[in-house]
Amino acid sequence: MANDDSWGHWAFAGSEPGPDLNIFSARYDTFIHPVTGKPLRATILETAQWVHVVARTASGDFVLVRQFRFGAREVTLEVPAGLVDTGEDPQAAAARELREETGFVSDAWSDLGAVYQNPASHTSLCHLWLADDAKATGETSPDAGEHLQSLVLSAADVAAAVRDGRIRNPYTVVALSRVLDLRA
Amino acid sequence: MANDDSWGHWAFAGSEPGPDLNIFSARYDTFIHPVTGKPLRATILETAQWVHVVARTASGDFVLVRQFRFGAREVTLEVPAGLVDTGEDPQAAAARELREETGFVSDAWSDLGAVYQNPASHTSLCHLWLADDAKATGETSPDAGEHLQSLVLSAADVAAAVRDGRIRNPYTVVALSRVLDLRA
């Protein structure tokens, strides 16, 4: 069950450009079914890498952000997150996004691994980082397209928010699952 | 910190159609920044609802699927999942996808809640279901665009696969986090 053996691989048979969607760039890749030999034209969305940050204070509380999300059309509760700039190291992006969105900084970073944004349709990864002993500087610098509120919650409150559906961003849940037991 | 209060809500200021991307239909929604009053044009991807299924056998093992994913261009290890058909109940879709992709059936279903596909850009939810006492029928019926292999792993193996990065589909990790302690 290794992910790198040859079972089930479709042959790549070409790529066509698609529309630019601002945060996404679409293209159409054609792959050949490994058994039937039939081609399948898949919509692929190229994006930057993402980073999601679990930030904990010295007392073990979690730094979260609230913001209106345009797809959901509601204010969501999430961990700080953002795009990795071109050429930027994911850990540097994590520290930058944490500082910009919440004003918190940390000198104790741990790599929590990565997940696909969506392996079916997206090419990029979402990198997960843990910032311990996070300290408030009081200075945030959100992007022009952002309007954020940061807040600090206990670990128990965060786990409860996942369980009761107040936290429904999947990448936030994945990041939190690396450090919290989220069983229902 | 309720999600339904009025803090931070951007006013909706119009929508324009965008390209049809097969599995996605793009549109551009404009929202008004609640403080600056400036408009922001957001790319929104409309899709069907999704369903992801954690299926456990009577002995507590997990039923997973392997398949080549066109975005990642590799064979991934995931829980059974798929699109909810128009008018279909999410639980019915969960049972259908489990049966089609793995041949397993269950009479013991539990609702594990839902997460957004991505609240920043997607309008739809991903529904999470648990199927206990799952039994193999030996009969699968994958879609023409699918080539799947199902396998049964112990709970410890599944948790290890999340931790060591063999499982990197975020929706699979979210679904599993409802029933397994996935702390690193």
Give the number of domains in chain B: 2
**Which residues of B fall within a CB distance of 8 Å from A9?**
68, 75
Beta carbons of A69 and B169 less than 8 Å apart: no
pLDDT single digits (tens) A47-102: 999 999 999 999 999 999 999 999 999 999 999 999 999 999 999 999 999 999 99
The verdict on A154 and A71 lying in the same domain is yes
Which residue range is the domain that position A86 belongs to? 50-177
Q: Does residue B182 sit within a domain?
A: no
Q: Does residue A5 sit within a domain?
A: no
pLDDT single digits (tens) A98-117: 999 999 999 999 999 999 99
Beta carbons of B119 and A168 less than 8 Å apart: yes
The verdict on A83 and A164 lying in the same domain is yes
Average pLDDT of chain B?
92
The verdict on A57 and A123 lying in the same domain is yes
The verdict on A20 and A65 lying in the same domain is no
The verdict on B117 and B66 lying in the same domain is yes
Q: Does residue A1 sit within a domain?
A: no
Reported pTM: 0.94
The verdict on A99 and A37 lying in the same domain is no
> Do the Cβ atoms of A28 and A41 come closer than 8 Å?
yes
- Determine the distance in angstroms separating the CA of A28 from the nearest CA of chain B, rounded to an integer: 9
Beta carbons of A74 and B40 less than 8 Å apart: no
ipTM, interface predicted TM-score of the complex: 0.94
The verdict on A27 and A76 lying in the same domain is no
pLDDT single digits (tens) A132-177: 999 999 888 877 778 899 999 999 999 999 999 999 999 999 999 9
CATH of the domain at A155: 3.90.79.10
Collapsing DSSP to helix, strand or coil, A75 comes out as strand
Considering only residues B146 and B176, tell me which one the structure prediction assigns the higher pLDDT: B176
Beta carbons of B77 and A44 less than 8 Å apart: no
The chain B residue lying nearest A179, using CA atoms, is B183
The verdict on A83 and A41 lying in the same domain is no
* pLDDT at residue B3 is higher than 60: no
The verdict on B34 and B121 lying in the same domain is no
The verdict on A63 and A153 lying in the same domain is yes
Beta carbons of A70 and B174 less than 8 Å apart: no
Q: Does residue B128 sit within a domain?
A: yes
Mutate to test the interface with B, among A111, A121, A162 (most CBs of B within 10 A): A121
pLDDT single digits (tens) B154-178: 999 999 999 999 999 999 999 999 9
Q: What beta strand segments (E) does A22-121 contain?
A: 24-32, 39-46, 50-57, 62-69, 74-78, 81-83, 104-105, 108-116
Considering only residues B3 and B23, tell me which one the structure prediction assigns the higher pLDDT: B23
| A5 pLDDT tier (thresholds 50, 70, 90) | low
The verdict on A29 and A85 lying in the same domain is no
The verdict on A42 and A75 lying in the same domain is no
Return the HEC string of chain B. CCCCCCCCCCEEEEEEEEEEECCEEEEEEEEECCCCCCEEEEEEEECCCEEEEEEECCCCCEEEEEEEECCCCEEEEECCEEECCCCCCHHHHHHHHHHHHHCEECCEEEEEEEEECCCCCECCEEEEEEEECCEECCCCCCCCCCCEEEEEECHHHHHHHHHCCCCCCHHHHHHHHCCCCCCC
